[in-house]
């Protein structure tokens, strides 16, 4: 996303190509689609996610559990909990500060739109 902004806003000379991988071109469309997917979750999880958005409480057990379920359904793919491939289960180094400053607390809720 930063590359898109840089290339569009500054139009640097000499850049002929840019390879974009696993990015989005519209934050508002991303928000719309993630909210559409929420409707496919069980009602209790829908309420937990939307309540987190409304109250700003993204640390509650209800919210984090619903977010984990959403991640398994829509991001990880067709794997079942407990038999996920190693790339999804191995410990990861987390660095949330930049993500949260630029985007927000999770991928559903863009900080500024």
Segment 45-54 shows an average pLDDT of 93
Question: Model's pTM, two decimal places?
Answer: 0.66
Q: What is the mean pLDDT of residues 17-31?
A: 82
Cα→Cα distances 10→21, 24, 60, 88, 100, Å: 21, 19, 41, 37, 24
User: What is the C-alpha to C-alpha distance for residues 32 and 107, in angstroms, rounded to an integer?
Assistant: 11
Q: What is the pLDDT of residues 66-88, one digit of tens each?
A: 988 888 888 776 666 667 777 76
| Gap between the terminal Cα atoms of the chain | 14
What pLDDT sits at residue 113? 46
């Amino acid at each position: 996303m930063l590359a898109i902004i840089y290339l569009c806003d500054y139009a640097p000379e000499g850049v002929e190509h840019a390879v974009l991988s696993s990015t989005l071109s519209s934050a508002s469309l991303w928000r719309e689609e993630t909210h559409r997917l929420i409707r496919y979750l069980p009602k209790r999880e829908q309420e937990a996610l939307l309540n987190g958005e409304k109250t700003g409480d993204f640390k509650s057990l209800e919210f984090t559990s619903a977010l984990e379920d959403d991640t398994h359904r829509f991001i990880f793919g067709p794997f079942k909990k407990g038999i996920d491939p190693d790339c999804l289960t191995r410990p990861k180094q987390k660095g949330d500060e930049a993500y949260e400053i630029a985007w927000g607390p999770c991928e559903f809720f863009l900080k500024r739109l």
